[in-house]
Each structure stands twice: as structure tokens, then as C-alpha cells.
Amino acid sequence: MIYCKSLIFFFVATVLFGLSHFSGVEAETTRYKLEPDMIASGVFVFWGKQESFSRENGANIVNTGFIVGRDAILAIDTGPTRLYAEEMIEAIKAVSPLPIRHAVVTHHHGDHAFGIQTFKKNNINILMHPKAKNLLAEEGAVLFGYLENLIGLDWTTGTEVDLPTSLLEKERMIDLGQRPVLIIPYEGGHTPGDLVIYDITSKTLFAGDLVFNGRAATIPHADISTWLDHLDTLEKQDWESLIPGHGPLLSKNQALDSTRTYLAFLRETAGAAISRGTTLAEIMTTVIPSPFDQLATVNSEFLRAMTTLFRQLEDEQFKSSPSTK
Amino acid sequence: MAKLSVTLQPSAIAAFFALFTLVLFPHLGNAAQTLDPLASTNWLDLQEEYLGEGPVEFNSSITLLLPPEIENSHEVPLTVVIPRTLGDVQEVVILAENNPIQQVLRLHLHRPVHSLSLTMRLETSTPVRAAVLLADGKWLVGSQLAHVLSPGGCSAPGGNSGGEVAQVGEIAFKQFENGGIYKNDRLKFRITHPMDTGLVTKANGESVPAYYIDRISIHDGSGLLLEFDTQAAMSADPVVTIDVPELQQNIRVMASDSKGLEFDSGELPTAQ
Ligand SMILES: [Zn+2]
């Protein structure tokens, strides 16, 4: 019993210490220290950390980047906060004096879209899929509140949810000066309106969150079946390097299996549980099988994914079952 | 504050609190069975209020399954496993200690149930208890700590009913043969209802009055099976799942709410 009590107090102490430790982030740490990584001639990536949102990383968990043409620059995604976007623009300017003319926001999730306001202030054309724009308008405030809770005001101060300046529903070519870049919409996969950026010159594909590498995919706005189809299409595209929304670079010889098998696992796990009558609490307390247990952030993302899928599937199940009033 | 915690060894803290507890509550020292395994300070009040006079024993065979961390505090899934080795169980009470509405539900059993699952509202991180009343008047209590990441499940807006007002009281139902923990029948139902706590103030300053299902009963061909006293600490559109080993045909779910409305599923068609 004494032993048991020690354990409990150790737990309580850990929780208390953990909380007090979280409560203060010193001002000096509120810089992302973004460093562009040149992965091909004229193609740069700011690699995000393989972590969840935290007060330590300020949501720098996402891969953003830019492509430099002869006349202009195109940025890919805007990052999670005003601070991030400002640092990103600063870092791009340190690489090239050319104007940043466009920023393509791959989808409406905050880690990709909350820097829009800063790019807009710099007179940069911001492109988004219309469905993503609508979702950002509808859910942006809620998503931002959620982000602010997790990373803290030190990072989010001055960030305001803002909307794109132009919309793109069909594939479009943007020429940066002897550097044609394709913007390709992929609807209804990771979110209703994702955009993918393909640099024809270097055969680099910025896939946004349609591809997660070594990290648990997030699915709150996803349609898994369509997403799996999109992965097949993406895999067949002629790219040398693929930059996932989260996780390290993929080379041509690497298939998109990390995302594909995890999505299939989520769908099967939730589907089997719903049809057997297994409860959400039962599923959430089971052990995540190998190899998925190796994915970064899988413990928290698995809980989120099961919650989302359970709600959808349970609702369908009840609707197809006897119901009376 | 943080610095202080670092210099103290956890075992020293434990020893200090153990001593402190014994000095303040000497009766705990010789009643080890009633000591709370999660070292709660207000358990004794809860016990008195919700479980009455009977002897109480903490028992780890009553298992509570909760997500390891809870993001949506409006809709927290809980499964309680009530092992059949416990024998004849009279009542099951689910308590969330740090909730403004502490008693989530009280289940009166007229036939055995081996597991009970539900969705509930948790205001903040809390010990969750499942107290099981045996025929001899003794309570057995299983516990689990709920780690809530985004508090406000009872008092913050959100977690609203997915149904229209016209659908309030609609009962949807699904039966799983061999779906239970002992491969017996599992029954799952959902009642469309806002389950308003009365603690939520909307953005425009208007407060939402309490309005919730207060009673649910389940019947089958052999008569009354279970009765639940429920509170608004259950989620909007609550989903309840139970394992019933002797489930008969002609299942019927009835409920009433705090406005006195009565809901009746009628006799539900047999599964499959
Ligand atoms: Zn995303």
C-alpha cells in the first residue's frame, strides 16, 4: 500500500511539475529560427519538427518551402502564425532579392494557413482551393483557438485568421520566369480542397498533407477512400523528390506506403470495431500494433482519428438500424 | 515553485503526504481497505453523499477504460467492466469527482450486466469512479484518472446535439450478438437529446437552462431489465452500451426528461 501511494504521489508530483514547467516560455525562445534547406536548384524547404503542437515548438511541425524562378518566387504554405510567416519571408529574402509573387496554401489547416495575413500584408497573391477557403472562413476561428491553447500566446500574438486573395479550382500553370510550376487540386482527400505544387524543372512535388512521412496522418476533414485514390495518382506522377506536409523527403523509389497503410489501418480498425460493437473506450485503450506504433505522434493522433471515425460510422450504423420515437 | 519540486524526491513527498494524511485523518490508518487509491481529498464526502452508510472497498477488478488523454471534454467515452465473479450486483454508480455534476448516472440492475459504456461530460481532469453495490450491502469501487486536455465539458459551449429539436427523444438502437466481453449480447442505443447542464452561457450572454434525460429504463420479453437515473453529466445524444447475458426478444427502451416528456422506442425488432 505504501508503495502504491508513493507511486501515486510521484504521479501527482509529475503532473504538478509538468504543469508549472509548461506555464512559462521565455521570450527569447519565441523564434522559430527557420533555415531554408536547398533540395534542388531553386527549391527550398523549411523542415518542421516531427512533434505535436507544443509551447516549445510553436507549431513548427509543418514543412513549408519556396521555388525561385528567374523573375519571381512562389511560396508553399504560410506556416502556423504571424511570427512564422514573418521569419519565412525574412529567410526567403536572405536567399534571393526577387519578389515573392505567390503563396499557395495547400489546405485550410492552421499550421499551413494562419500565416496568410502576413503574406497578404506583403502584397503577395495567395492562392487556395475555394472549398479550403470556405472551411477556413467557417472553422478558422475555432481552429485558431485550439492552436492558441496548445502553443500559447507568446507564439500566436498578432496572428489573425485571414482569407486568400485568389481561388484555384482547376489545374493551373504559374511561370516564375523560365520556371513553370503546376498547381494541381486534389479534392476530398485529406480535406475537401487540397492543392499540390509541382515544379516541372526539378521534378519536385510539394504534396501538402496528402502525404505524411513517418508520422501519423490527421483525418478530421478527411475522406479516407478518396485519399487512398489520390495517393495512387500521386505515386504515378513523374516526380524525383516529394515533400510531404509533415516528415522527411521522399525519393522516387520510395512508395507512399507510410500514409497509405496507416490510413487503411485506421479505417479497418474503426470499421471492425463498429461492426462488432466494440466501444470507443475499448478501442482507445488497446495497443497500437507494429509498425504503426513507430509513427511520430501516433498516440494522440490515433485517439483523434478513432473519435472522428467512430462518430461518422456510429451515426451511419444507427441510421441503418431500427429507430423509433 | 518548479525549482522546489525538483529538489524534493518523489518518495519524500509521498512520505510527507502519507504522514500528513494520517495525522489529519487517523481513522484512515486502520481502515486500509477504504483508502482511496488515487489519494483524493474529497472522496469521503462523495462516498457519504452518493453511496450512503454501507462499507466501501476499492477493488481493481472493476475496470474503467478511458482514453489516455481527453481532447473533447463534452464527449468522453467510458467503459466499465463489471466482472461476473462479483455475483449479484444491485446498483452501479458512476461518479466524476471534480465535476460540477458529480453523479453521471446510477444504474439499478434487475438482471446481470457485465459491462456498461457511455459518453459523458467532464469539466476537468478528475478521478472517475464506478461504485458497484453487492447484495450484502457492500460497495466495491473501481477508479481511473481522467486526464482532460481541454476543460469545460460541463460549462463551455459546444458538444451540442446533432439532432433537430423535432428529433428530441428519438431512440436509435443496435444489438450485437456475441459482442460483449463474455461473448454474450451487447446492446447499444442512442437517445437524441441536448442534455444541457444549465452551466453554459452562450456568446451573447444568454444562459442555457438545464434540460436533460433523467430516467431511462430497458425492458425485454421477460420484463424490466435495467433502470438508469441520469444527469446532464451525460453527453448530448448520449450513447449507452451494455452487455446483458440473458437478453430476450422484444427489447424496449423508455426514457423521460426534466421537462416531463416521455420517450418510448416501442418494441424493437430483433437484431439482424
Ligand atoms: Zn492538414
Does B79 contact A20 at a Cβ distance shorter than 8 Å? no
Residue B253 pLDDT greater than 50, yes or no: yes
Query: Residue B113: what pLDDT?
Result: 94
Q: Ligand 1 center to residue B149 CA distance, Å?
A: 21
User: Which residue positions in chain A have pLDDT lower than 70?
Assistant: 1-29, 322-325
What are the chain A neighbours of B174 within 8 Å (beta carbons)? 277, 317-318, 321
Structural contact between residues B118 and B195, judged by C-beta atoms closer than 8 angstroms = no
Residue B205's alpha-carbon distances to B100, B195, B200, B201, in angstroms, are: 20, 20, 10, 6
Mutate to test the interface with A, among B116, B187, B241 (most CBs of A within 10 A): B241
Query: Residue A12: what pLDDT?
Result: 39
Q: Ligand 1 center to residue B140 CA distance, Å?
A: 46
Query: Residue B166: what pLDDT?
Result: 79
**Number of Cβ pairs < 8 A linking chain A and chain B:** 122
Cell numbers standing for residue A174 = 504559374
Provide the pLDDT confidence category of residue B225 given band limits of 50, 70 and 90. Answer: very high
Contacts of B12 by beta carbon, 8 Å cutoff, 6+ apart: none
The three-class DSSP label of residue B148 is strand
Q: Ligand 1 center to residue A190 CA distance, Å?
A: 7
Rounded CA gap, B231 and B213, in Å? 7
Higher pLDDT, B20 or A113: A113
Phi and psi at residue A11, to the nearest 5°: -65, -50
Does B269 contact A322 at a Cβ distance shorter than 8 Å? yes
Rounded CA gap, B110 and B246, in Å? 11
Residue B35 pLDDT greater than 60, yes or no: no
Dihedral, CA atoms, B151, B158, A311, B217, nearest 10 degrees?
90
Dihedral, CA atoms, B21, B24, B26, B28, nearest 10 degrees?
-40
Does A322 contact B14 at a Cβ distance shorter than 8 Å? no
Does A321 contact B241 at a Cβ distance shorter than 8 Å? no
Domain boundaries, chain B: 28-259
Rounded CA gap, B168 and B162, in Å? 10
- Residue A26 in contact with partner chain B when CB distance is under 8 A: no
The three-class DSSP label of residue B257 is strand
Q: Ligand 1 center to residue A209 CA distance, Å?
A: 5
Given the C-alpha cell 428530441, which residue does it identify? B168
**Would you tell me how many other CB atoms lie within 10 Å of the CB of residue B192?**
24
B102-141 burial by CB neighbour count: b if 16+ within 10 A, else e? bbbbbbebebbbbbbbbbbbbbbbbbbbbbbbbeeeebbb
Rounded CA gap, A162 and A148, in Å? 16
Domains (range + CATH), chain A: 2-257 (3.60.15.10)
Provide the pLDDT confidence category of residue B252 given band limits of 50, 70 and 90. Answer: very high
Does A16 contact B5 at a Cβ distance shorter than 8 Å? yes
> Between A21, A279, A284, which is nearest B241 by CB?
A279
> Between A280, A284, A318, which is nearest B174 by CB?
A318
Cis amide leading into A291 (omega within 30): yes
Residue B244's identity, in one-letter code, is: V
Lowest mean pLDDT among A20-24, A296-300, B49-53, B141-145: A20-24
Query: Residue A99: what pLDDT?
Result: 98
The three-class DSSP label of residue B264 is strand
Q: Ligand 1 center to residue A185 CA distance, Å?
A: 15
Q: Ligand 1 center to residue A107 CA distance, Å?
A: 7
Higher pLDDT, A166 or B183: A166
- Residue A287 in contact with partner chain B when CB distance is under 8 A: no
Which residue from B minimizes the CA distance to A11? B10
What are the chain B neighbours of A13 within 8 Å (beta carbons)? 5, 8, 10, 13
Cell numbers standing for residue A213 = 512521412
Least Cα separation, residue B99 to chain A (angstroms): 19
What are the chain A neighbours of B11 within 8 Å (beta carbons)? 6, 10
Least Cα separation, residue A256 to chain B (angstroms): 29
- Residue A94 in contact with partner chain B when CB distance is under 8 A: no
Q: Ligand 1 center to residue A136 CA distance, Å?
A: 12
What B229-232 contacts at long range (C-beta under 8 Å, 24+ apart), as own/partner pairs, is: B229/B103, B229/B105, B229/B106, B229/B108, B230/B104, B230/B105, B231/B101, B231/B103, B231/B104, B231/B105, B232/B101, B232/B121, B232/B154, B232/B195, B232/B196, B232/B197, B232/B198
Does A314 contact B239 at a Cβ distance shorter than 8 Å? yes
pTM of the model: 0.81
Rounded CA gap, B204 and A109, in Å? 28
Print the SS3 string covering chain A: CHHHHHHHHHHHHHHHHHHHHHCCCCHHHCCCCCCCEEEECCEEEECCCCCCCCCCCCCCCCCEEEEECCCCEEEECCCCCHHHHHHHHHHHHHHCCCCEEEEECCCCCHHHHCCHHHHHHCCCEEEECHHHHHHHHHHHHHHHHHHHHHHCHHHHCCCCCCCCCEECCCCEEEECCCCEEEEEEEECCCCCEEEEEEECCCCEEEEEEEEECCECCCCCCCCHHHHHHHHHHHHHCCCCEEEEEECCCEECCCCCHHHHHHHHHHHHHHHHHHHHCCCHHHHHCCCCCCCHHHCECHHHHHHHHHHHHHHHHHHHHHHCCCEEC
- Residue A304 in contact with partner chain B when CB distance is under 8 A: yes
Print the SS3 string covering B4-59: HHHHCCHHHHHHHHHHHHHHHCHHHCCCHHHCCCCCCCCHHHHHHHHHCCCCEEEC
- Residue A313 in contact with partner chain B when CB distance is under 8 A: no
Average pLDDT, chain B: 84
Q: Ligand 1 center to residue A53 CA distance, Å?
A: 13
Structural contact between residues B81 and B71, judged by C-beta atoms closer than 8 angstroms = no
Structural contact between residues A59 and A297, judged by C-beta atoms closer than 8 angstroms = no
Does A9 contact B68 at a Cβ distance shorter than 8 Å? no
Burial of B46 (0-12, 13-18, 19+ CB in 10 A): buried
Higher pLDDT, B166 or A205: A205
Query: Residue B36: what pLDDT?
Result: 67
- Residue A149 in contact with partner chain B when CB distance is under 8 A: yes
Per-residue model confidence as pLDDT tens digits over A13-52: 333 333 334 444 444 568 999 999 999 999 999 999 999 8
- State the CATH architecture for B28-259: Sandwich (2.60)
Does B77 contact A323 at a Cβ distance shorter than 8 Å? no
Query: Residue A253: what pLDDT?
Result: 74
Residue B186 pLDDT greater than 50, yes or no: yes
The three-class DSSP label of residue B126 is strand
> Between A17, A277, A322, which is nearest B2 by CB?
A17
Query: Residue A324: what pLDDT?
Result: 54
